[in-house]
């Protein structure tokens, strides 16, 4: 869609992105900070994010090869780490041609690796399962896996694992997980990577050689109870325009299912965004939006293309005013809490019909 008559947009603040990166990178000073830009850069447009960071980031990470190839077609030439490794044997060839590093987590991938002739020249990272039980080799498999790598591959090897509860500052699980990984790291004398955003912020001992920065890069803190020395800046502002204003009488219902009833004469604004744009259908009446410096509550059900908000108590609101659904004034966490989900899901669900527009 090139014609934009509708002004519903996700505005992306790349200066904020760069500031967040520099701030977190500085917190984990002795390790390399990988920028995780899977899922289209957490919904921010991976190529735009990568371009803004490409001079300071050594390594980007995505989930799978297709995401990395999309970066290459957009002219991003930094090394890319593939977090789920190869899905097909031919992915190894693609990785060599394109300078992708592969995170290997299962025996079938090691078999493909061993079958390569000449040997795979890219960097190999091994995923160790230290207790999340999602992906990775069990600790006691590592010896056997090591024996299947070539000397070159072993010399450059990075051992990785992933926290399951890093955002819980009182949890003992991260300590146990880190200890398991560090035991292997000292045994084999290789590099390691453990920390995601919450790991970086809550568990400094986990920084290691490479951190994997996702959520916090986009200006959202995963560690609500750990105040940061400098606030992160939300990178995405999801916004839409008011396209209609109505006044309804006491007792009138609003929206599908008649879930909200006016308790007083109510002035309503209809805003051009709905669940087809990624605004959650689950959002309850009362979820805040921001208009002209004021807060208004969502009322009634979220429709496919529209929402209605109560502007009775607001001043000077007109058709064509811009409404912020989340961003610098409305925390995405509040919207997530009001719709039984998490910030990660809201960010990555902003749909294709919402243009990602660079701020400024």
Ligand X SMILES: *Cc1c(COP(=O)(O)O)cnc(C)c1O
What phi and psi values does residue 199 have, to the nearest 5 degrees? -65, -45
In the numeric block, which tokens belong to residue 113? Answer: 């690796």
Scanning 209-217, 224-232, 254-262, 331-339 for contacts with ligand X by CB under 6 A, the matching segment is 209-217
Residue from 214, 255, 278, 288 touching ligand X (CB under 6 A): that is 214
The DSSP result for 129-151, as a single string, is ESS--SSSEEGGGHHHHHHTS-H
Residue from 215, 236, 248, 283 touching ligand X (CB under 6 A): that is 215
SS3 for 181?
Answer: helix
Radius of gyration over alpha carbons of the chain, in Å? 23
Please give the residues from 160 up to 179 whose contact with ligand X meets the rule CB under 6 A. 162
Is 38 marked active-site? yes
**Nearest alpha carbon to residue 120 among 81, 158, 165, 150:** 150
| Least distance in angstroms from the C-beta of 172 to ligand X | 20
307 binds ligand X (CB under 6 A): no
Residue from 17, 53, 83, 201 touching ligand X (CB under 6 A): that is 83
| Least distance in angstroms from the C-beta of 61 to ligand X | 7
- Dihedral class, residue 162 (left if φ above 0, else alpha if ψ from -120 to 50, else beta): beta
Scanning 18-26, 194-202, 268-276, 316-324 for contacts with ligand X by CB under 6 A, the matching segment is 194-202
Residue 35 bridge partners (DSSP): 60, 213
Contact 234, 332 (CB under 8 A): yes
| Least distance in angstroms from the C-beta of 18 to ligand X | 17
Catalytic residue among 88, 108, 253, 256: 256
CA 246 remoteness from chain centre: 37
Scanning 25-33, 70-78, 192-200, 286-294 for contacts with ligand X by CB under 6 A, the matching segment is 192-200
The number of residues that bind ligand X (CB under 6 A) is 12
Cβ neighbours of 84 (radius 10 Å): 19
Catalytic residue among 38, 48, 182, 356: 38
196 binds ligand X (CB under 6 A): yes
Catalytic residues: 38, 256
Residues engaged in binding ligand X (CB under 6 A): 36, 38, 83, 162, 196-198, 212-215, 222
């Amino acid at each position: 869609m090139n014609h934009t008559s509708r002004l519903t947009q996700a505005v992306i603040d790349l200066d904020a992105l760069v500031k967040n990166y520099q701030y977190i990178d500085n917190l984990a000073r002795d390790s390399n900070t990988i920028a995780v830009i899977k899922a289209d850069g957490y919904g921010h447009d991976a190529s735009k994010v990568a371009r803004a960071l490409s001079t300071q980031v050594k390594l980007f990470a995505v989930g799978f090869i297709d995401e990395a190839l999309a970066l290459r077609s957009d002219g991003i030439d930094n090394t890319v780490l593939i977090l789920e490794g190869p899905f097909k044997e031919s992915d190894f060839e693609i990785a060599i041609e394109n300078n992708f590093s592969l995170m290997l987590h299962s025996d079938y991938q090691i078999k493909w690796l061993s079958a390569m002739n000449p040997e795979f020249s890219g960097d190999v990272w091994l995923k160790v399962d230290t207790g999340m039980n999602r992906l990775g080799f069990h600790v006691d498999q590592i010896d056997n896996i090591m024996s299947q790598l070539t000397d070159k591959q072993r010399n450059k090897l990075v051992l990785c694992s992933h926290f399951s509860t890093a955002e819980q500052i009182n949890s003992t699980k991260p300590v146990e997980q880190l200890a398991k990984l560090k035991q292997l790291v000292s045994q084999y004398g290789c590099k390691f990577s453990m920390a995601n955003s919450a790991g970086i912020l809550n568990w400094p001992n986990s920084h290691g050689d490479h951190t994997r920065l996702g959520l916090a890069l986009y200006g959202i803190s995963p560690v609500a109870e750990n105040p940061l020395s400098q606030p992160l800046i939300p990178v995405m502002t999801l916004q839409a325009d008011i396209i209609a204003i109505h006044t309804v009488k006491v007792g009138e219902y609003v929206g599908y299912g008649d879930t909200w009833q006016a308790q007083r004469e109510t002035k309503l604004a209809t805003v051009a965004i709905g669940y087809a744009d990624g605004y959650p259908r689950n959002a309850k009446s009362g979820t805040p939006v921001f208009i002209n410096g004021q807060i208004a509550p969502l009322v009634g059900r979220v429709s496919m293309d529209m929402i209605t908000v109560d502007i009775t108590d607001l001043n000077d609101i007109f058709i064509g005013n811009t409404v912020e659904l989340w961003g610098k004034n409305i925390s995405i966490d509040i919207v997530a809490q009001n719709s039984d989900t998490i910030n990660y899901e809201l960010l990555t669900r902003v749909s294709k019909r919402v243009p990602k527009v660079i701020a400024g």
